Amino acid sequence: GENVEQHPSTLSVQEGDSAVIKCTYSDSASNYFPWYKQELGKRPQLIIDIRSNVGEKKDQRIAVTLNKTAKHFSLHITETQPEDSAVYFCAASPMGRSGNQFYFGTGTSLTVIP
């Protein structure tokens, strides 16, 4: 099955700096790559996603890039703010399976220092 690796596991940045989280996947059939943000004690919430026919997608301060050849995708957060502090999960969803089987990375705990 699919294997998603996520790095780093923890990340601390100064407010206003950028943060980058990287994920790799193993199944070339994966075609949908969402990113979820989970605040302490809360449920994961989708913040951005990208499909395999697109190389980059941006939404205000958040962007995601996808390199299908290298099988890796990254989350970029610019001008970080304290409210960006949370755990971020990447996921990959293979095409051709029955239903949406999402395989998640192990998460990155982001701390934005004011």
Partner 1 sequence: NAGVTQTPKFQVLKTGQSMTLQCAQDMNHEYMSWYRQDPGMGLRLIHYSVGAGITDQGEVPNGYNVSRSTTEDFPLRLLSAAPSQTSVYFCASSWASRGEKLFFGSGTQLSVL
Helix (H, G, I), strand (E, B) or coil at 83: helix
Do 104 and 32 touch, CB atoms closer than 8 A?
Answer: no
Q: Does 60 bind partner 1 (CB under 8 A)?
A: no
For 84, phi then psi, to 5°, come to -80, -10
Distance of alpha carbon 64 from alpha carbon 46, whole angstroms = 13
Nearer to partner 1, 4 or 112 (CB): 4
Q: Binding to partner 1 by residue 81, rule CB under 8 A?
A: no
Q: Does the footprint of partner 1 cover residue 24 (CB under 8 A)? A: no
Tokens of 15: 């407010």
Q: Which is nearer to partner 1, 71 or 104 (CB)?
A: 104
Which residues of this protein are in contact with partner 1, per CB under 8 A? 1, 4, 6, 9, 31-32, 34, 36, 42-46, 49, 51, 89, 91, 93, 95, 97-107
